[in-house]
A and B are shown apart, each in its own frame.
Chain A
Amino acid sequence: MTSLFPTTRRTAPADRTRPSTTPGDHVSTPSSDVALDVRALKKIYEGAGRQVEAVRDLTFSVARGELVCIVGPSGAGKTTLLRGIAGLLPLTSGEVVLDGARVTGPPAGMAVVFQEYGRSLFPWLTVRQNVELPLKEKGLKKAERREKVEAALEAVGLADSGDAHPWQLSGGMQQRVAIARAVAYEPSVLLMDEPFAAVDAQTRADLEDLVRTLWHRLGVTVLFVTHDIEEAVYLGQRVLVLSNRPTVILEDVTVDLPDVRDQLETRSTARFAELRHHVYELVQKAKKGYRPDGEAV
């Protein structure tokens, strides 16, 4: 079963094969170029007298500087996967390797942006204090902290809102604060768990562009989990499509859209439509219980 992955992972469907621009597109990538390596990740929840196999076997890697989206039907174990990678959830088997070191707890080189921005930000702290606290915890000096906090707030367009409390801001602005906090932390890999699921469509478009901009400017590696197919295709260099439970990867789709993306232009190109169509079909298949090894559920 694991032998299937290298093939599904690396080959796009025959009629869609395009020259790939993605770096690190070789199975034998030198470990220095791989920021995040997920190997045979498996998670079985042990309930009262019953077991639920949430994630069966996930193997993929994210090259340094890459922006990878994970998309799947609801209930595909996206959050389980992300929490497993973030070191917030003990795995049943398999391993997560970040910068060559095995993840056993929340690693120093990782920052997570959660979907529930309203609950992830501390209401008793101001915006600035929220961004600053992890840096304080890292042991940074005051001057350095201030510099990084201001730069991060500036980067997300909230330079003027540092003294406000998060609850005084709109939902989109709150999620910007959470992003600023993660960016200021300067992680090697930035995990985002459906970060824009709870904001309106226009705000979402702005935030998507913000993620692309930050990714370009800071060269950070991003793993972006979403249930939104268009969002995944618009943002990612690759889209990993998950099956339904117990989760495996259905296909690793390379997004060969131009690097400069624009909400209007990119989304109206034929290639975008093709990719969206393809991913959409995969997700529909996943919902119906299609699995890469042909096993019906």
Chain B
Amino acid sequence: MATTTAPAGAVASPRRPVLSGRTRDVALGGLGLLCVVVVLQILPALGVADPTYLPSSTDIGAALGRLVTEPEFWTAFGQTLRGWAIGLAVAMAAGVAAGVLIGSVPLLRALTASTVEFLRPIPSVALIPLVVLVYGSQPQSALILVVYASFWQVLVQVLYGVADVDPVVRDTARSYRFSRLTVLRQVVWPTALPYVVTGFRLAAAVALILEITAELVIGVPGLGQRIGVSQSSGAVATTYALVVVVGVIGVAVNVLARQVERRVLRWHPSIRRELP
């Protein structure tokens, strides 16, 4: 209502946001989340949604409160995180190593291009029958799916990164007679690093999706499996609470990846600040 007190002459003056920049974004994000919670609370109460299948926010909250007191929940939580982290680490290591190698050797790149393009679009979930045959519901099944899905994310990014070396930088390195190893460590790697970090962010999200999928579909121990059990036993609120937990993990993973990016790429134009 403050606008009504503004003098008539001030119409053309630019509107100034009450909060600025980051604080404002966080506040708006929080407000949006609050809206979802409120809608979830109202819908079942109004009878628009069947409370049997869509419990109210308070019910989900209560179920979540019960969950965090159970040791079994934390075991499952740990299993999911471990599966995710190991799979992601393997995919990162393999993706970076393969990407740098293939990207640095033009012949290798030409040889593998069609194979990569063929294998990459195969959805990891299509491998479920195969891994079930070999490992059943052991954690290895989830690991293979996670690694397969996230490996391509990393590999493709690293390939782009390695190819992105500025010709002037390349000439500079050549004219100062840098060895192959120095070029790799001091030129190719820093150039590819922003791409590696992007690959890490994409792979982290995909790895979480595949980890949960493997647990849910194959029954590999973890939060996904608990979701499946809760659902089949009719504990709807608990099912939703677990989904919320998985969502929170996803957000945390993304925030973590951003932090890593900020630290590793201090010098990069997308991160760096103006003159200190």
The chain A residues found within 8 Å of chain B, CB to CB, are: 83, 86-88, 105-106, 108, 110-112, 114, 116, 119-120, 122-125, 133-134, 137, 165, 167-168, 185
Contacts between the two chains (Cβ within 8 Å), count: 61
Contact, CB under 8 Å: A165 / B267: yes
Contacts of A114 in B (CB 8 A): 168, 171-172
Q: Kindly state whether residue B166 has any CB partner on chain A within 8 Å.
A: yes
Contact, CB under 8 Å: B176 / A111: yes
Contact, CB under 8 Å: A120 / B176: no
- Measured CB to CB, the nearest residue on chain A to B274 is A168
- A125–B178 Cα gap in the complex (Å)? 15
Contacts of A167 in B (CB 8 A): 267, 269, 272
Expressed in whole angstroms, the minimum distance between the Cβ of A252 and any Cβ of chain B is: 26
- Measured CB to CB, the nearest residue on chain A to B179 is A137
- A60–B166 Cα gap in the complex (Å)? 31
Residue in B177, B178, B182, B187 with the greatest tally of chain A CB atoms within 10 Å: B177
Contact A119 to B169, CB < 8 A, known contacts A124-B190, A168-B275, A168-B276: yes
Contact, CB under 8 Å: B176 / A185: yes
Q: Kindly state whether residue B186 has any CB partner on chain A within 8 Å.
A: yes
**Could you pull out 26 A-B pairs where Cβ atoms are within 8 angstroms?**
A88-B175, A105-B174, A106-B176, A108-B177, A114-B168, A119-B166, A119-B169, A120-B168, A120-B169, A120-B171, A120-B172, A122-B169, A122-B190, A123-B267, A123-B268, A124-B190, A124-B193, A124-B267, A133-B178, A133-B182, A134-B177, A134-B178, A137-B176, A137-B179, A137-B182, A185-B176
- A248–B187 Cα gap in the complex (Å)? 36
Contact, CB under 8 Å: B176 / A134: yes
- A209–B187 Cα gap in the complex (Å)? 32
- 9 tightest CB-CB pairs across the interface, nearest first? A134-B176, A119-B168, A124-B190, A112-B175, A124-B267, A106-B175, A120-B172, A123-B267, A116-B168
> Digit string of B260-276 for contact with A (CB within 8 Å is 1, else 0)?
00000001110010011
Within 8 A of A (CB), among B227-270: 267-269
- Interface of A (DSSP majority class): loop
- Measured CB to CB, the nearest residue on chain B to A136 is B182
Contact, CB under 8 Å: A88 / B171: yes
Contact A112 to B275, CB < 8 A, known contacts A123-B268, A137-B177, A165-B267: no
Instruction: Known A-B contacts: A86-B171, A106-B176, A123-B267. Give 4 more (CB < 8 A).
Output: A119-B169, A120-B169, A137-B176, A185-B176
Contact, CB under 8 Å: A110 / B166: no
- Measured CB to CB, the nearest residue on chain B to A164 is B276
Contact A88 to B166, CB < 8 A, known contacts A124-B190, A165-B267, A167-B272: no
- Measured CB to CB, the nearest residue on chain A to B276 is A168
Expressed in whole angstroms, the minimum distance between the Cβ of B29 and any Cβ of chain A is: 31
- A87–B275 Cα gap in the complex (Å)? 37
- Measured CB to CB, the nearest residue on chain B to A191 is B175
Contact, CB under 8 Å: B175 / A86: yes
Expressed in whole angstroms, the minimum distance between the Cβ of B164 and any Cβ of chain A is: 12
- A87–B175 Cα gap in the complex (Å)? 8
Expressed in whole angstroms, the minimum distance between the Cβ of B138 and any Cβ of chain A is: 42
Contacts of A106 in B (CB 8 A): 174-177
- A110–B138 Cα gap in the complex (Å)? 61
- A116–B167 Cα gap in the complex (Å)? 11
- A200–B178 Cα gap in the complex (Å)? 32
- A83–B177 Cα gap in the complex (Å)? 14
- Measured CB to CB, the nearest residue on chain A to B193 is A124
Contacts of B267 in A (CB 8 A): 123-124, 165, 167
Contacts of B276 in A (CB 8 A): 168
- A146–B70 Cα gap in the complex (Å)? 60
Contacts of A111 in B (CB 8 A): 175-176
Expressed in whole angstroms, the minimum distance between the Cβ of B83 and any Cβ of chain A is: 34
Contacts of B177 in A (CB 8 A): 106, 108, 134, 137
- Measured CB to CB, the nearest residue on chain A to B273 is A168
- A110–B178 Cα gap in the complex (Å)? 13
Question: A133's contact among B174, B186, B269, by CB below 8 Å, is which?
Answer: B186
Residue in B168, B193, B275 with the greatest tally of chain A CB atoms within 10 Å: B168
Contact, CB under 8 Å: B182 / A112: no
- A112–B168 Cα gap in the complex (Å)? 11
Expressed in whole angstroms, the minimum distance between the Cβ of B147 and any Cβ of chain A is: 29
Contacts of B275 in A (CB 8 A): 168
Expressed in whole angstroms, the minimum distance between the Cβ of A224 and any Cβ of chain B is: 16
Expressed in whole angstroms, the minimum distance between the Cβ of B10 and any Cβ of chain A is: 40
Expressed in whole angstroms, the minimum distance between the Cβ of A140 and any Cβ of chain B is: 13
- Measured CB to CB, the nearest residue on chain B to A117 is B168
- A49–B174 Cα gap in the complex (Å)? 29
